[in-house]
Chains A and B, each alone.
Chain A
Amino acid sequence: MTVKKPMPCSLYDMEGIQNWLDEMARQGLFLDRIAFHNDRFIFQTGEPRPVRYRLDPIVPGYDYGERRELYAQAGWEFVDTMVNLYCVYSCADPDIPELYSDPQSLACAVGRLAKRRSLSVGLLLLVLAFAVGGFCFVGWDTFLRNLILREEPFFPLTFLALPALVVIGGVIEVVYVRRLWTVCRTLEQSLSLKSGRRWNRPRFLTVYIPIFILGNLLINYVALYSPETTYTYDPAALAHPWPTAAQIEQTVPGQVPEDWTPCVDGYIRKNASRRAPVQEFVSRRQTAGSDYPYSLSTTIRYVRADSPKTAGRLYRLERDERAKRLEQWKGPTFAARVTDLVPFSPRDWPGLDRLEVAQFRSGGQAGWTFALLRGNDVLLVSYTGPARWEGCLPLFLEALDS
């Protein structure tokens, strides 16, 4: 008959595992094999008798077949391997010498195992550090945007989850490798090893499942108590009376009729962001036709932050995001492909903390984007048409003041 038991101690507690297996044999349970990611030990039942179980560290160059045969000649039978860390051998004859008759030689074997493990863990951590570093580098701006604007409240949580998991995993691995080195040093000093702490219930019941449940509860808590983001558009509810398309076009007199009203849409986003309580986007566009002499497009992105510091950070994020978009729109697949792009460059304008303007051509027309920062206000306006940014900017500043 077979009996399954979870491993009751750390994988790196050599003495603890050996003592436990010896105890099992005295209770009539003899190790048959190890399964389920080395957490489940499968025993065969039999008449209780003393059997010694010993762990043989798998050192670099370990020849499984050769060792198995040579150890068998010396009276030690191979049982199974554990996670590429140890081979388990058993011996029922009490007169046969210990697998490691000398603690110094076991120290040497454990030291070689610890060195191999340190190298592989070090390499793994290095690769993970680069991967996480790359992940953070690529996603950092999106993370900051979501942290401030709360466009997707879950994003910061999921963004932090991966590095957190890697750090926790890395710390656990380092702690385990340190344990191996401690075993090595203890043996080098010819001191006897002591068994570590044993847990009465399976590790997955006491640690992994509770962590999983707590993690899920946390995510559900965030989901439940995060007010939803709502998107509405009501021109009357906009924070400022942004200049109309006709007003913008009138900066270049004689181009279009004054009552010219292109298609308008956009959103006023309401969410739980305390750091950016006002978030608006307005888009106005019109394709050239019989009534209109040219196509036009104006987009207005406005955010009011809770402090000049937050506004400064948002300004950089929004400007970079727009700069990235402009670069993308240079691609040949875009209908309104951007050409002749002059990237954002700083300009002086009285009363503004920062002003940067990018200029380009799109769909055969001139275009520009300005990004401005004034106190808590961040405003980005993109436009294609005949109007110049110098003529339009005062209209937007007037709207901001009103």
Chain B
Amino acid sequence: MAGREKGPLTEPMYYVLMSFLGREMCGTEITEFVERRTAGRVKLGPGTLYTLLAKFQDEGLIAETSVDGRKRTYQITEKGREAFREELARLRSCVNDGDEALG
């Protein structure tokens, strides 16, 4: 299955998508996950987070699994996993190219 066709993921996109690889997540859990994973380097604003969630849903990378009051939970789709793998491969390639260039 082809992943995302709309170019490389930005850093917040990458980490938000990564957050779903382990389990289903809601908004606050994603924010905490990203902050913990990046040791506070990447901080997600609430506008950024909910815009990315809507965008990923539109592109079929994640799907809503449950709604409990204001709390919405999402899980990654197969297309989302594929998009993440593609981005990972791209980043690996970038890193390898950099390493080789440095000698």
Contacts and interface: CB of A to CB of B under 8 A. Distances in A.
Interface in B7-53: 10-13, 27-28, 31, 42-48, 50-52
Contacts of A11: none
Given A69-B70, A70-B70, A74-B31, A102 B10 contact: yes
Contacts of B46: 70-71, 73-74, 76, 99
Contacts of A70: 27, 46, 50, 70
A248 B28 CA distance: 97
Given A97-B43, A97-B45, A102 B11 contact: yes
A93 interface: no
Tell which of B10, B43, B44, B46 has the most Cβ of chain A within 10 Å. Answer: B46
B54 interface: yes
B12 A108 contact: no
Given A69-B70, A70-B70, A108-B55, A101 B44 contact: yes
B17 to A, nearest CB: 13
Contacts of B28: 73
Interface stretch (A34-42, A54-62, A387-395): A54-62
A100 B27 contact: no
Q: Most chain-B Cβ atoms within 10 A of its Cβ — which of A69, A71, A74, A106?
A: A74
A110 to B, nearest CB: 10
Given A66-B70, A70-B70, A73-B28, A105 B51 contact: yes
Contacts of B47: 54, 56, 71, 98-101, 105-106, 109
A74 B55 contact: no
Nearest to B44: A101
A74 B48 CA distance: 12
A222 B95 CA distance: 75
Contacts of B52: 105, 108
Given A97-B43, A99-B46, A100-B45, A108 B70 contact: no
B12 A105 contact: yes
Given A66-B70, A70-B27, A106 B54 contact: no
Q: 9 closest Cβ contacts across the A-B interface?
A: A101-B45, A74-B46, A105-B48, A97-B43, A99-B47, A100-B47, A102-B12, A105-B51, A97-B45
16 contacts: A61-B54, A69-B70, A70-B50, A70-B70, A74-B45, A98-B47, A98-B48, A99-B46, A99-B48, A102-B12, A102-B44, A104-B13, A105-B10, A105-B12, A105-B55, A108-B51
